[in-house]
Each structure stands twice: as C-alpha cells, then as structure tokens.
C-alpha cells in the first residue's frame, strides 16, 4: 500500500510540475517576440526619438499636407460654431491664413498638433494664433478635429 501511495504522490508531483511548466510557457513571451521588441526599441533609439513621442514638422509653411490640415481645422471649427448657433453665422468665424508650427505623434493614426494663424471673418483685425489637434487615419480616409482653441503662447510665431 505504501508503494501505491508513493506512485500516486509521484504522479501528482509530475502532473504538478508539468502544469507549472505550461503556466510558465503561457505567461512569458517567446524569445522571438522579446528579440523583435528589443530590435524595435533599438531602431527607435537610433533614430533619436522616443517611441510615441512628438516630432517637429520641418518646413511647415511649404508643407502642403500640413497647410491643408490647418485649413480643414478652421473649416471644421467654423462648421461647429455655426451648428452651435443653430445655423446662424456666429460672431467669430475664422479665415485660415497658414499653419505656422506643427508636430506629429504616432498614435492609432497620426496626431497633428498645429499652431494656426487665422483672422476673424470680416473683422479686419490682426491674425490670432490657434492651437489645433487633429487625428488622421489614412487607411480609413478619416480625420477628426479633437481640439481647437486660442493659443496661450504666441511668442515668435507670427509670420
């Protein structure tokens, strides 16, 4: 009878060890996955930027895509402003002038942080700087204006 108990205990021990091994395999990523992750991080570090960090857009004033996004932001702002005013023309519709500064960030799409120069429609006053955030998902042919507000920091942006 003692032998049977030892055999059962040994079998239970083997089953227990085997289930621990399976748990360890399922909880830890494969070496291949870890290697790919390491390569991705090293490539991003070699490029001199943080993964998911903001990147300055160069030559903003000549960048047609960024300028069109700025124009889209002002148009969308105006449409939302009119909608809030129940279809009447609000007192502060804007006329797009240009994007003066831009940054991008890779998210689930590309998030653009834009500083836009615009003037009040029919106001004849000076241009103001507005900050806009727009997310572009090219594979869906979609762009969404997330935020649009007067800039709190307009130093050295007039152009």
End-to-end distance of the chain based on CA atoms, in angstroms?
Answer: 94
For the record, the structure tokens of 38 come out as 């390491």
Q: What is the pLDDT of residue 37?
A: 58
Q: What is the pLDDT of residues 69-100, one digit of tens each?
A: 999 999 999 999 887 766 666 568 999 999 99
pTM of the shown model: 0.64
Residue 98 · residue 61 · CB < 8 Å:
yes
Q: What is the pLDDT of residue 8?
A: 42
Q: What is the pLDDT of residue 121?
A: 83
Which parts of the chain register pLDDT below 70? Answer: 1-29, 33-51, 85-91, 154-159
Q: What is the pLDDT of residue 91?
A: 63
Residue 149 · residue 134 · CB < 8 Å:
no
Q: What is the pLDDT of residue 151?
A: 95
Residue 58 · residue 80 · CB < 8 Å:
no
């Amino acid at each position: 009878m003692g032998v049977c108990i030892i055999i059962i205990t040994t079998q239970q021990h083997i089953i227990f060890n085997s289930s621990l091994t399976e748990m360890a395999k399922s909880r830890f990523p494969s070496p291949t996955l870890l290697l790919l992750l390491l390569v991705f991080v090293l490539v991003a570090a070699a490029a001199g930027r943080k993964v998911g960090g903001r990147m300055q857009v160069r030559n903003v004033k000549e960048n047609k895509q960024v300028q069109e996004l700025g124009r889209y932001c002002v148009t969308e702002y105006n449409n939302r402003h009119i909608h809030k005013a129940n279809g009447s023309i609000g007192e502060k519709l804007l006329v797009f002038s240009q994007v003066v500064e831009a940054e991008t960030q890779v998210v689930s799409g590309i998030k653009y942080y834009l500083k836009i120069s615009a003037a009040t429609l029919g106001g004849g006053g000076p241009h103001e700087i507005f900050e806009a955030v727009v997310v572009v998902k090219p594979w869906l042919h979609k762009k969404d204006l997330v935020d649009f507000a007067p800039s709190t920091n307009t130093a050295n942006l007039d152009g």
